[in-house]
Structure 1
Amino acid sequence: MPRLTRLTPDTAVGASRDLLADLVSRHGQVGDMVATMAHSPAVLGGYLQLSRAMGRAKLNRRISERVSIAVQAQQGCGLCLDAHVSAARALCVDEEEIERARAGTSADPAIAAVITLAPQIYREPASITDDQVTALREHGYSDRAIADVVGVVALNILTGAFNLLAGLTPESAARA
């Protein structure tokens, strides 16, 4: 059961009301997470800005969804994990690769190098080595793509932690 209530443009106040009203006018509706984030205009605004910015990432979307799966498998947000698994499937990532991403790897060594890095950024970023970054470059990743991995992880930490705090689960989303 959700711990925080969903807001609407009618129940939100100030900047949150404006953000929600704009989103609803452009998209028709907003999901539970966004509607609940509206309790804090700073959190909602930050999420929207980071989400838009990561839409311009150089990291391939099929890879970034697997990075998200690996992070959410660690963080434990079922709502986020389900969303990223669905997105990976929509991008034609096969079930074996989705399962490998849950385990923090891939059959492709270049993709495995990035997916392995993501949970490490989440859990223990101080342990990242020069050799790991060199290996990513040897697999063809630019400095921008490597930096984008941090952005994907950060976005997942924000959304997953928020959903866990707010009590948003796949079950609560299905009831809404």
Structure 2
Amino acid sequence: MPRLARLTPDTAVGASRDLLAELASRHGPLGDMVSTMAHSPAVLGGYLQLSRAMGRAKLDRGTSERISIALQVLQGCRLCLDAHVSAARARGVDEEEIERARSGTSADPAIAAIIALALQIYRAPTSITDAQITALREHGYSDRAIADVVGVVTLNVLTGAFNLLAGLTPESGTDV
């Protein structure tokens, strides 16, 4: 059961009302997470800005979705995990690779290395080494793509933590 109520453009106030109204006019019905985030215009605005910015990330979306799957398995947000599994499938990631992502790896050594970096950023960022960054470059990742991993991790921490706090689950309503 959700812990926080959904808001709508009619029930939200101030900046949240404006953000929800704009989103509804551009995208139609609003998902539970966005509607619930509207309790804090700072959180909702930050999420929207980071989400838009990460849409311009250098990492390809299939890799980004695999990273997100690995992170959400650790974080425990089923709503996010389901959304990222669906997005990975839509981008052509096969079921074996989705299962590998759930385990924090990939059959592709380059993707396995970038997933490992994301998990390390999540768990213990002080343990990242120069050798790891060099290895990622040798796999073909640019500095921009490597830096984008921090954004993917941050977006997943934000959405997963928010959904867990708010009590949003796949059973509690609509999508992210």
Shorter-chain TM-score tier: over 0.9
State the Cα RMSD in Å: 1.0
Tell me, which stretches of 5 or more residues in structure 1 are unaligned? none
- 1:164 maps to 164
Which residue type is aligned with residue 108 of structure 1? D
- In the TM superposition, residue 120 of structure 1 has moved relative to its aligned partner by 1.0
For 1:130-169, what aligned pairs fall within 5 Å after superposition? 130-169=130-169
Q: Give deviations 1:26-49, integer Å, cap 9, x for gaps.
A: 111110000000000000000000
- 1:43 maps to 43
For 1:22-171, what aligned pairs fall within 5 Å after superposition? 22-171=22-171
- In the TM superposition, residue 119 of structure 1 has moved relative to its aligned partner by 1.2
Tell me, which stretches of 5 or more residues in structure 2 are unaligned? none
Q: Give deviations 1:75-126, integer Å, cap 9, x for gaps.
A: 0000000000000000110000000001000000000000111111111111
Q: Secondary structure at the match of 1:6?
A: coil
1:13 to 2:17 alignment: no
- In the TM superposition, residue 173 of structure 1 has moved relative to its aligned partner by 2.1
- In the TM superposition, residue 68 of structure 1 has moved relative to its aligned partner by 0.3
Alpha carbons 2:31, 2:174 under 8 Å: kept: no
Which residue type is aligned with residue 9 of structure 2? P
- In the TM superposition, residue 174 of structure 1 has moved relative to its aligned partner by 5.5
For normalisation by structure 2, the TM-score amounts to: 0.98
Structure 1's 107 and 151: CA in aligned 2 closer, same or farther, altered over 3 A? Answer: same
Percent sequence identity over matched residues? 83
- 1:2 maps to 2
Q: Distance in 2 between matches of 1:173 and 1:5?
A: 12
Aligned length: 175
Q: Distance in 2 between matches of 1:88 and 1:166?
A: 25
Q: Give deviations 1:133-174, integer Å, cap 9, x for gaps.
A: 110000000000000011000000000000000000011125
Q: Give deviations 1:8-57, integer Å, cap 9, x for gaps.
A: 00000000000000000111111000000000000000000000000000
Q: Distance in 2 between matches of 1:115 and 1:162?
A: 22
Q: Distance in 2 between matches of 1:174 and 1:160?
A: 15
For normalisation by structure 1, the TM-score amounts to: 0.98
Q: Secondary structure at the match of 1:4?
A: coil
